[in-house]
Every structure is written in structure tokens, then in C-alpha cells.
Structure 1
């Protein structure tokens, strides 16, 4: 009991309200600073009733300052709708309550037009991961996410599935030689490659973005940590696909998952902070702070977001080109889609801003990729254009347990056995990415049969992920 974390309910019991003061108190509590749980509760109680006495306190002065001006803060706070608008949920029985509660808060924003929750949804920051939100002329940085433009890319090569078994060691070497992983990692100056994305005008005209160009160049063609990967596998087209120009059969394929690296993360942090300063929402909704697209700040973020999306695409392009060249293979088809982004789209006859935080665009005829895990299939899909889902589908299987829980509870031996049974070679990764930490991809796919058609099935065989414990995902 002594070390049990203090939470919002504990503070409510002391007399705190669910407002900005509670947020400040919880931030202070994370540090604990040598106090026991009971000592911290005593301090919080005293600050609440005697804030003037703590204005010079090194630890508690931020809380005291907020408490003394809480009435002014609440007068300046943007009011939410009295009740959340209704929204569609897919696979509701497999979605944790925390994700549903986050979506309910998002549906109370004054700018919200429509929403949907995908079957892989789980709790995140701001919008839940797997959340889709349409807004009226407003963009939410945390509705896009930290890894702006995170995306999937698939290359289907003119090589048969038997190539993997016949050239296993070569393929491992190709992955090791042509990829780089982990938060903060990139390429030395003599290793860097050029790409037209680095010529974007923002790198010349916008001071903040200009300061990020060297980082962007360093990390161009690299992958993040966490659930990001580069993998060889077998893709099966059971019936072929005329639109893609790929016949029935099984082929060697390359599948990648990564985003905009440090560039996107820095842009997200900068504009989220700015949005919170401009758009003062109630405590429960503060991570959903939005920018009006009619303002200079909104337009700045929109341009920076699109740059980060283009940069993420460029990273995948560099990786795929390097690997195809190393293989000496021909390209039969390539598909890519992003899933942490905001788009201007038509919904119910009006232009809206559609945020897909961990959701795949699935308008009619749009191609997308929905991966499983390192040991389970992924799917090449074609969208059906279901308006109730705001033309969206899941972006993967979705986490079943947190990273911390996975590391504490899952067995490395069980993972090793599973990979062996499925004939998968794993290069890097930690227990937090074990397949058992994810939902059943087949259950997720069955919950969205109204949203997408499956075109082909991808089975991973040689998987590379970050092996440094980084969490840039």
C-alpha cells in the first residue's frame, strides 16, 4: 500500500475537482521526491486548503499558483458539449474501456462532426489509438499523433515464395545491411542519401522546421523503435488482382512499418504545446487541444504535418529501393498507406478534417495494409467506402496488453518456441512486441468485414525490429 500510486480518485477524496489543478498535482506526484504516499497525500491536502503558503515552495508552487487562479482558468476554458455525440464502434467487445472513454471525450468537442472506433483500438494520448474523428475546420495535433505520417509500405517482387528458403542467409544480410533502427538512430554524414523531400520550402523559410533539417537528413531511410519493422515474407494472391497487375500465386514481398522519426516527433511536440496554450480545454480533454485552420498557427501545423507525412513516405521509399537493388529483383506492385494523419475529406456532403490516429484510410477502392504481428499474418486490403466508419479501417491487430505488462508477464521461452513453430527468424525486438501482447488479427479482421475486402495475405518470415528498447512508435 505504501508505494501504491496516487491517482485522480485519491485527489477527489481530498476535495480536488477534475480540473487543471488535478493535472498539475498528478504531475508533481510522478516525481514523489522522497515522500511516502501518505506524506504526499497530506501535502496535497494542505496545498488545497492553504495554497498561499506554498507559493515559494520548490515542489508545490505550480499547484498553489493554479489553485489560486482556478476560477480565471475555468472562465477561459472552452466548453465541451453536455453529452458526447454518438459514434460507431467496431468489435466493441474487444476494446478496453479506457479507449471508449477517450473517444467519448473526443465526441464532446465543440468542433466534432463525427467519430468511429476501429476494432484494434486501445488507449493512447488524446484520441485513442484506433480512433477516427472528423472535425469542422480544426486540426488536433494529438489527434494525429506523435509519429506523424506513420505508415505501411509493401513491395511485391518478381520472385517466388521459395526464394526465402533458398536464400535465407542472403535475405538476413540484406536486411541488416540496408536498415537502421531505434529512437534517435540514423546515418553518419558519409552514409546519408538525398531525396527531393529535403528540398521542401519549409526547410528554407520556416525557422523551426529549418532547425530540424539536419536531423531529418540523418534519419532519412531509417526506422523507429517499438512496433516498427522491416520484414521479408510471403504474400499470396489467391485470385490475383487485375488493378494491381499481379497474378494468382505466392511471391516474395517486403513489408515496412515506420514513420517520420525525430522530425515528426518534434513537430508534434511543438504544435501540441502551442495548441494547448491557444485552445484551453477542460482537464479531461486537454490533450485534444485543436488549432483552427483559419489561423496562422493552424496553417503552420498543417504544412508541417504534410511535410512529416511526405518525409515518412520518403523513408520507406529509400528502404525499399535499397533492398530491391540489393536483391536485384523486379517490382510487380507497391502499395503504401499512412495511419497517423489528418485529411481534408467530404463527409455527409461537407468538407471535414478527418483524423486517423492508428486507422487505415478505406474509402471505396483505396488500397491499404493491415499487419498482424511478427508471427501472424497481415492483409493487403481494398476499402469499401463505409461512411459509418468515416471511410476507415484498423491499422493492425492492436495491443492486448501494455508494453510494461508484456515485459513483466510474457515468457521469452514461449516467444522463441512460437517463432520456431511458425518458421520465423527475428532480428532484434523485445518482449513488448511479442505476438501474445497483441489482439488476434483474425478477430479484428472479422469485425471489419464491412469496411474492407482482403486482396492478399502476407505471412512474415524474416523480421527486423529495434533491439535497443526504444519506444519511438
Structure 2
């Protein structure tokens, strides 16, 4: 009996298992290739690993330090980006004035823009895919009425809505989800349904204020794709890691990429566009529900994402906390862009053009100079007193009824500094401002989380048992 060539022999020749194995085995056996012929035939499947760039790609620095704390922050950001710019796919990059580090050296910081050729880097858009802001113009409606109505329909904190409070899910969007291999799983579909109309926690907010130009009341929401996007991110990172091990093991794990020309690359790109549609709808249902509550129509609406990947030809712009200025990045553009700073400052409405420095982007906010933990340790006095001092004349609410001092204005960079550097580096022109009336945020929802209460009760029960 003739011996059949198998995958074991291919592995023995130094090849890693791949989709091409079946085709190669069939070809070798059907054509009865000799050992030498087999070696020559298999050379086409040999993967050549890609080394890091000897010289880092060009980096535009649109930020400068104005005090010692900022000096530490800026140096850390620049150092991390310099390491990242050695990634083989990278063409160029930029840093915005709101930049702050988010991980070990070589990790894209908040406020970083990285341009890659024919590659999508999931780690460079992060788990909060398509974090974005949407504005709806409520005309001359009383801002308190808008904030009250919005408070009654929104949802902050972990998890999603129960079945009784879920919004109707668009059937056409569900069909797109089910047709995509990255999204068509029960975990993703369940999150897409239950997290629609939710805002999460952290720095996500619902803000109400008045236009400086018109005096109209504006509702602005800030949040991303929630668990739906986080699930895609997790799957994307796993696929990217498989490619990294095979084609560029020197690349840092957080900078692994999915080659766009592969089946996985195209499917992942399509998945990102579906996440984008879902996230836009996530904003819309809350704005529309608020309008319905007040029995009125909007006078205007526009939105933009700032945590996404944008495509221009074979270049993929990874904007980790950066706002697109160039219209080519937004297929559904309907107005200028939104840049929130902190709850006590106006939300900036900006327009702008691509320059060599900005690569077509602006900052996405004010950013931080220190971590939440460092900020919390730096504050003195009671939480209540700190809150009163920093939110004077504002209607600031925390959905969990627990104040989160790491989201108060002092937790962020100086807003005037960010604005000044936007002007200095040509990062968009301010065409209007939404002056703050008030806002809603998740707050410190973990303080009285059910599992913490159970833990406290168990401890009390144990102590009582000792008496």
C-alpha cells in the first residue's frame, strides 16, 4: 500500500498548521511528489517573520508640559508612543493635548493616533470600541426639564436592561450581526439587545447645557459600545495574537494586528462598522426617548466617535481617544464635532481640516495627568464637601446616588491648557460652545454593590457568631 503524505510530515519540515494544509496534502498526494519536489512546493507557504522597524515611524507631538506633573505625563506618553512606532505596520502617528498613558510602555495612550498600512490593531482602539458623543438640540426647552426627562429614561452602571425595559432592536441590524463571524454568537447578541440604551460607567455622561451662539438647550451623551463592543475586542485580540505569533513575534502583544487582506481582516473591519451602527443607535434611543417624554421634535442632531479605526485607502487610522476632523473619516457626517472637557466646562463644538501635524484629528477631551487612585489620594476633606466645592451652580447627579470624586473637574487636565494647545497646534476651530447646566454620571456604583453588601453582611454574621 502506498504511503500517504500527512500533516505530520509538513510539521516535521518546520511549518505551523494552517488552513492551507488540506490543499497542500491533497496536491502532494495527487501528484505523487518526491521529497525534493515536496520541499520546493511547500516553500510558497513559508511565512517570513517581520521584524520591528529599525527607525521608528514619524511621530507628531501636539502637546507640551506646563508644570512638573504634566512633564511626567508627557514624557511617559512620548516614550510609550516612540516604542509603539517601531511596530512593523506603522506609517506615522500623532499625540493630542489630552494624551495620558494607559498601560505599559509601547501601549497606545489616550490621545494617540496611529496610522497602519493594511492592518487593524484591536489593541489600538481598545475594548470601548466607538466611544462617542451625540448632541440633540432641544430648542428653547428648560434645561432642567430636559435633564429630568433624560434621567428618567437613561441607564448607568454595570449590565444591561431587563426584558421589560429594553428598547426594540432593529431587525436589519440583527441580520447584519448574525451574518458576521465575529459577532454571531449568543454572548454578543445578548449584549447587543440588553445593553442598547445604556451608558455604562467611568467617564461616560449625559450632559445638558445651552448653546453659547443660540441659547438653545442641548443634550449630549458620551458612551461607547458597551459589552457588545467589548466582546468583539476580546475576539479580535485573540485573532491578532495568532497572527503575531506567526508573522511578527517581536511585536508587543498589545500591538498585534490582523492583516486586512485576510478573511479575518475583512470580517473584522465589517464587524467594526456594525459596532459603529449599534453605538450610534445606542445614543439615538436615549435622545429619542427624552424627546418623546417631552412630546417634542429635535431641531438638530449630530455625533462623532473618538475611539475607533478609520480607513483611507490602504491606511487604517487608529484613534484612541481622538476626534476626527476630516469629513472623509465619517460617512454619515451631519455637523461639526464635539469635544467635552469636564462637567463644569463647556462642550466644544469644532470644525477643522487635516494638517501634517494633526493627521485629520483633534483631541477628544481634557484627559488626565494622574490616575484615579492618585487623584483620590490627593484630595482632602469629606466627599460631600469636595463635591459641593467643585460643582457650584451646577445640577450634577450620580445615577447610583454615590459621588465619584474621580470624575469631578479637578480629576482632569486644565481645560484652558487643552484649548490653548488646540489653537497652538491647529487642532480644530471652536465654532460654538455648550455652556453647562448639569449632568448625570454613573457615580461610585461599586460602593453599595450587591456583592459588597453580601460580603459585609457575611462578615457581620461571622463576628456575631463569635460573641
Q: Normalising by the residue count of structure 2, what TM-score does the alignment of the two structures yield?
A: 0.75
The separation in 1 between residues aligned to 2:233 and 2:295, in whole angstroms, is: 38
Cα distance, 1:85 vs. partner? 2.2
2:358 matches 1:389: yes
Cα distance, 1:469 vs. partner? 4.0
2:320 matches 1:357: yes
Partner of 1:264: 229
Partner of 1:443: 417
Q: Deviations over 1:359-415 (max 9, x none)?
A: 000116972100011122210111222232110000000112211112222242453
Partner of 1:100: 78
Retained in 2: the 8 A contact 1:376–1:460? yes
Retained in 1: the 8 A contact 2:390–2:408? no
Retained in 2: the 8 A contact 1:233–1:458? yes
The separation in 1 between residues aligned to 2:62 and 2:116, in whole angstroms, is: 20
Retained in 1: the 8 A contact 2:182–2:235? no
Partner of 1:88: 60
Structure 2 unaligned spans of 5+ = 1-46, 328-332, 448-467
Partner of 1:343: 310
User: Which protein shows a greater Rg?
Assistant: 2
Describe the shift of the 1:422–1:76 C-alpha distance in structure 2 as closer, same or farther (beyond 3 A). Answer: farther
Mapping of residues 20-35 of structure 1, within 5 Å: none
Describe the shift of the 1:134–1:294 C-alpha distance in structure 2 as closer, same or farther (beyond 3 A). Answer: same
The separation in 2 between residues aligned to 1:307 and 1:448, in whole angstroms, is: 32
Residue in structure 2 matching 1:157, options 122, 125, 138: 138
Partner of 2:89: 111
Cα distance, 1:208 vs. partner? 4.8
Describe the shift of the 1:414–1:459 C-alpha distance in structure 2 as closer, same or farther (beyond 3 A). Answer: farther
2:372 matches 1:372: no
Describe the shift of the 1:432–1:103 C-alpha distance in structure 2 as closer, same or farther (beyond 3 A). Answer: same
The separation in 1 between residues aligned to 2:344 and 2:220, in whole angstroms, is: 13
Q: Deviations over 1:266-309 (max 9, x none)?
A: 11011112212221356772201111001122122212211111
Retained in 2: the 8 A contact 1:293–1:299? yes
2:254 matches 1:287: yes
2:183 matches 1:183: no
The separation in 1 between residues aligned to 2:117 and 2:180, in whole angstroms, is: 29
Partner of 1:199: 174
Cα distance, 1:103 vs. partner? 1.1
Q: Deviations over 1:399-448 (max 9, x none)?
A: 12211112222242453233442433323451121211100122112212
The separation in 2 between residues aligned to 1:433 and 1:396, in whole angstroms, is: 13
Partner of 1:409: 378
Cα distance, 1:122 vs. partner? 0.7
Partner of 1:275: 240
Partner of 1:63: none
Partner of 1:27: none
How large is the Cα RMSD of the aligned pairs? Answer: 2.4
Residue range with higher mean Cα deviation, 174-183 or 426-435:
426-435
Retained in 1: the 8 A contact 2:390–2:409? no
Cα distance, 1:92 vs. partner? 2.5
